[in-house]
Amino acid sequence: MTSANHTEAPKLTLLRRYLRAAISAFLLIAVAILAISIWQARRRALFEMGQLTSIWAEATTDELLPPVANYELFVLQNPDFVIARNSGYPVDSSWQLPTNATIQASQAALGESYSVGDWLRGELFHVIEEEERTLVVRLPARAAVRDAVSSALMPLIGLAMLFGVGGAVIETGDRNRHKHVHRLIEESTTVTQGIIDTSLTLSQRSDLNELTLAFEQMRQALTQRIDESAELQRITQQVTNTLDIENGLKIILNGMETATDALGARAIIFNPDGGRPLQYSSMGAVRQGSLDRRLLLLIKNTGREIILRDPSQIRRRLELPDDRDVPVQSILAFPLYAQEQLHGILWLGYARPLASEPTGIDIIRAYVSQAATLVANVKFRLRSERQYRRLAAVLASVLDAVAVTDQTDHFVLINPAMAKAFDLDAEGVIGRKVHDIITDPTLLRTLTEPISEVNAREVTSGDQVYHSSVSNVTALDGSMGRVAVFHDITHLKQLDELKSKFVQNVTHDLRNPLTYIHSYAMLLPEIGALTAKQQEYVDNIVSGAQRMHNTIGTVLELIRIESDTASFYLEPINAAQLLDTISAEYNPAAQTQGNQIIVSASPNIIVMAERLSLQSAISNLVANALKYAPHTGDILLKVEEDARQVIFSVRDDGEGIDKADQLRIFEKYYRAAKPHTLKTEGSGLGLSIVRSVAQRHGGRAWLTSDVGRGSTFFLSIPKVVADTPNGHAPTISTIRITE
Indicate if the pLDDT at residue 44 is higher than 90: no
Indicate if the pLDDT at residue 214 is higher than 80: no
The mean per-residue pLDDT over the stretch 693-713 comes to: 89
Per-residue CA distances from 270 to 242, 335, 345 (Å): 19, 12, 9
State the Rg of the chain over Cα: 42
What is the spatial distance between Cα 127 and Cα 136, in angstroms, rounded to a whole number? 5
Indicate if the pLDDT at residue 15 is higher than 90: no
Indicate if the pLDDT at residue 564 is higher than 70: no
Tell me the torsion sign for CA atoms 451, 457, 460, 461. positive
Please, which residues bridge with residue 597 across strands? Answer: 635
449 or 383: which leads in pLDDT: 449
What average pLDDT is seen over the chain?
76
- Beta carbons of 178 and 17 less than 8 angstroms apart: yes
Indicate if the pLDDT at residue 426 is higher than 80: yes
Indicate if the pLDDT at residue 169 is higher than 70: no
Provide the residue type at 338 as one letter. A
Q: Which residues of 152-184 are buried (b: 16+ CB within 10 A; e: fewer)?
A: beebbebbeebbeebeebbeebeeebbebbeeb
CB atoms within 10 A of CB 264: 23
pLDDT 10s digits, 454-480: 777 889 888 899 989 898 887 655 667
Give me the percent of the chain exceeding a pLDDT of 90. Answer: 15
Indicate if the pLDDT at residue 178 is higher than 60: no
DSSP string, 133-183: -EEEEEEEHHHHHHHHHHHHHHHHHHHHHHHHHHHHHHHH--HHHHHHHHH
Indicate if the pLDDT at residue 43 is higher than 50: yes
User: Residues with Cβ < 8 Å from 550, sequence gap 6 or more?
Assistant: none
Total-model pTM:
0.42
The mean per-residue pLDDT over the stretch 608-617 comes to: 89
Least confident of 33-42, 595-604, 674-683: 674-683
The mean per-residue pLDDT over the stretch 169-188 comes to: 58
The mean per-residue pLDDT over the stretch 544-561 comes to: 71
The mean per-residue pLDDT over the stretch 389-407 comes to: 85
The mean per-residue pLDDT over the stretch 579-602 comes to: 91
pLDDT 10s digits, 187-206: 666 655 555 555 555 555 55
CB atoms within 10 A of CB 261: 12
CB atoms within 10 A of CB 219: 21
pLDDT 10s digits, 483-525: 999 999 998 888 877 776 776 677 667 777 877 787 878 888 8
pLDDT, residue 9, reads 47
pLDDT, residue 137, reads 79
Count Cα atoms within 13 angstroms, Cβ side, for 537.
6
The mean per-residue pLDDT over the stretch 19-31 comes to: 73
204 or 148: which leads in pLDDT: 148
587 or 31: which leads in pLDDT: 587
Max mean pLDDT among 48-57, 63-72, 110-119, 338-347 falls in 338-347
385 pLDDT band (50/70/90 cuts)? confident
pLDDT, residue 732, reads 38
Q: What is the DSSP letter of 730?
A: -
Tell which residue, 58, 91, 70, 259, has the closest CA to residue 148. Answer: 70
DSSP string, 69-124: TTBEEEEEETTTEEEEESSSSPTT-B----TT-EEEEEETTTEEEEEES-TTT-EE
Indicate if the pLDDT at residue 733 is higher than 50: no
Indicate if the pLDDT at residue 433 is higher than 90: yes
pLDDT, residue 646, reads 94
